Amino acid sequence: MATPHIAAAPGQIAPTVLMPGDPLRARFIAETYLEAPEEFNHVRGMLGYTGRYKGKPVSVMGSGMGMPSIGIYSWELYTVYGVEEIIRVGSAGAYAAELKLFDLMLVTGAYSESTFAKTQNGSLDEILSPSAALTARLRATAQTLGKPLAEGIVHSSDVFYQDEKPGTPYWQRLRDEKGCLAVEMESFALFHNAAATGKQAACLLTISDSFTSPQQTTAEQREKSFTGMMEVALEALP
């Protein structure tokens, strides 16, 4: 049955969902990679499609920006539509100088100062882990495809525009004290919802900009050029 946010009928969504933040990136993945993609959602402009990749069923749907948004969509996918695993395919800003534009990062943990998990079920964990088996599958697939991966902890932030105070920048403290290699805004909530519902979640990121360099990608590049992580996620389908 439909939810207030997803219009799909039962059976329209595959057990595995790729979830970029940008709904236009979801459409790009569907139109570029999937066989006979069919749209199952456009409520609030959050596009979702189901098709097949090399004969395997898969869905792709945007999550929107931030933990509240991905929290809603991932929860409904897991609990209403029977989705078993969600692979976030998103962008991130590098905190670590060794991460360059278009590098791929496999997230091994998400740190957040957010109250999302505490509010949802009382969890006080500040670092949440992805599903080990799904993460291992993505790692093995990347190795098979010859695509190098950086691995590490990401900062899932509630704030895009930080009001910096004098002294050491906040991002640098998170890098040095928490071990965060990059920043994005969704993985912590996704990992929490997967654990809370007994489902699987993992995250592949493409570096889109850097806190240690003025270089950054364009909006069109973020929509259409982050193909490496898309291909790893699709080739890792069960």
Distance CA 186, CA 209 (A): 17
Please compute the mean of the pLDDT values over residues 13-41 and round it to a whole number: 97
Query: How many CA atoms, within 13 angstroms, populate the side-chain half-sphere of residue 205?
Result: 31
Give residue-wise pLDDT tens across range 189-217: 999 999 999 999 999 999 999 999 887 87
With 70 as the cut, is the pLDDT of residue 88 above it?
yes
Q: Which residue has the tokens 């006979």?
A: 36
Kindly report the number of other CB atoms within 10 A of residue 1's CB atom: 8
Structure confidence at residue 224 as a pLDDT band (50, 70, 90): low
pLDDT score for 219: 74
User: Among 69-83, 162-176, 194-208, where is mean pLDDT lowest?
Assistant: 162-176
End-to-end distance of the chain based on CA atoms, in angstroms?
26
44: part of which helix (H) or strand (E)? Answer: none
Does the domain formed by 16-235 have CATH 3.40.50.1580?
Answer: yes
Residue 115 CA, distance from chain mean position: 19
With 80 as the cut, is the pLDDT of residue 225 above it?
no
pLDDT score for 221: 77
Distance CA 132, CA 207 (A): 22
176: part of which helix (H) or strand (E)? Answer: none
User: Which one of 22, 125, 176, 209 is the catalytic residue?
Assistant: 209
What b/e string do you get for 8-42 counting C-beta neighbours within 10 Å, with b at 16 or more? Answer: beeebbbbbbbbbbbbbbbbbbbeebbeebeebbe
pLDDT score for 223: 63
Q: Which residues contact 167 (CB under 8 A, 6 or more apart)?
A: none
Catalytic residue list contains 209: yes
With 70 as the cut, is the pLDDT of residue 116 above it?
yes
pLDDT score for 213: 87
Strands 85-94, 16-19: pairing is parallel
Q: What percent of the chain has pLDDT over 90?
A: 90
Per-domain residue ranges of the chain:
16-235
With 90 as the cut, is the pLDDT of residue 132 above it?
yes
User: pTM value?
Assistant: 0.95
Helix (H, G, I), strand (E, B) or coil at 235: helix
